[in-house]
Structure 1
Amino acid sequence: MYYTFQSMTQEQAEVIAETWRYQGDYSFYDMDADVEDLEEFLDPEKRQDSYFVVLDRNEIIGFYSFQRPDSATVELGLGMKPELTGQGAGAEFLIAGLQFAEAKYHPKHFALSVAAFNKRAIRLYEKIGFKKTESFVQATNGGQYEFVKMAMKTDG
């Protein structure tokens, strides 16, 4: 695949929020599963320059958010189009996002948080080089859920 990253437009945010629906337990990741997350995702000021869509031949196949909690770290959030998940494209998608963020932000570390039940994603992150650093419980999606925080050093 050939990935292109571009700043997320309002129209793209609305399409993702309104039409991307994940199956089974993964419906946890539907944008409208958490009111606060949805509000941030749909607010251009809150998205600012930190949300990007990933295109493959002009089709949105995913998105990333990149936050800078400090000058050495990029914290990422990501989502892949539901029809593409679980089909072996995750590693390539993740590596492309990390390469984009490394070139744009030059961090010393990457960090992310993932729902503890999402063993598929955790395996992928570990395969790429992320290590578990802590577990925590967070209120989201109308309940209390366990998350795993993971981090990875960059080449920079």
Structure 2
Amino acid sequence: MDYQFQVMNQQQAEEIAYNWHYEGIYAFYDMESDPEDLAEFIDSEKRGESCYAVIENQTLIGFLSVSRVDTTTVEIGLGMKPELTGHGQGLSFVQACIEWTRKQHAPKTIMLSVATFNQRAVKVYEKAGFQPVETYIQETNGGHYPFLKMKKIFEK
């Protein structure tokens, strides 16, 4: 897959926020499910240059957010276009996000968090080399939900 990464523009943010709707239990990831997350995502100043559109063949197919935790660690958040999930493309997407993050930010460790019910994503992250760190409760979408923090450490 040939993915390009670019700082997310307002049109792309609004496309994801208002038009990407996931099926079934994965509707949990709809941006409109959490008003605070939605407001932060569509605010270009809050988004800054830490959120990237992932483009394939001139089509928006995903997003990646990167935030520095400390001098050696970054935390990422990512999402794929709903129509593309569940069709075997997740691992190549995650690997591309990891590779791009390493080139741009040179971390020794990448962290991410995923809702524990999303075993489909957990399995993809494990195949990409992430290891579970801890489970914690996060307030989001009007409730409290268990999340799994995962990390991938790079040998240099």
- TM over 0.5: same fold? yes
The alpha-carbon deviation at position 3 of structure 1 amounts to 0.5
Q: Which runs of 4+ in 1 moved over 4 A?
A: none
Superposition pairs of residues 2-151 of structure 1, within 5 angstroms: 2-151=2-151
- Give ranges in structure 2 of 5+ residues lacking alignment: none
SS in 1 for 2:117: coil
The alpha-carbon deviation at position 74 of structure 1 amounts to 1.1
| Identity among equivalent pairs (%) | 51
SS in 2 for 1:144: strand
Which amino acid counterpart does residue 12 of structure 1 have in structure 2? Q
- Give ranges in structure 1 of 5+ residues lacking alignment: none
SS in 1 for 2:137: strand
CA offsets per residue over residues 47-78 of structure 1, 9 Å max, x none?
A: 11100001011100000000101111110000
- TM-score of the two chains, using structure 1 as the length reference: 0.98
SS in 2 for 1:70: coil
SS in 1 for 2:45: helix
Q: Distance in 2 between matches of 1:155 and 1:59?
A: 34
Q: Distance in 2 between matches of 1:133 and 1:122?
A: 12
CA offsets per residue over residues 32-53 of structure 1, 9 Å max, x none?
A: 1111111110011111110000
Q: Distance in 1 between matches of 2:92 and 2:123?
A: 14
Aligned residues: 156
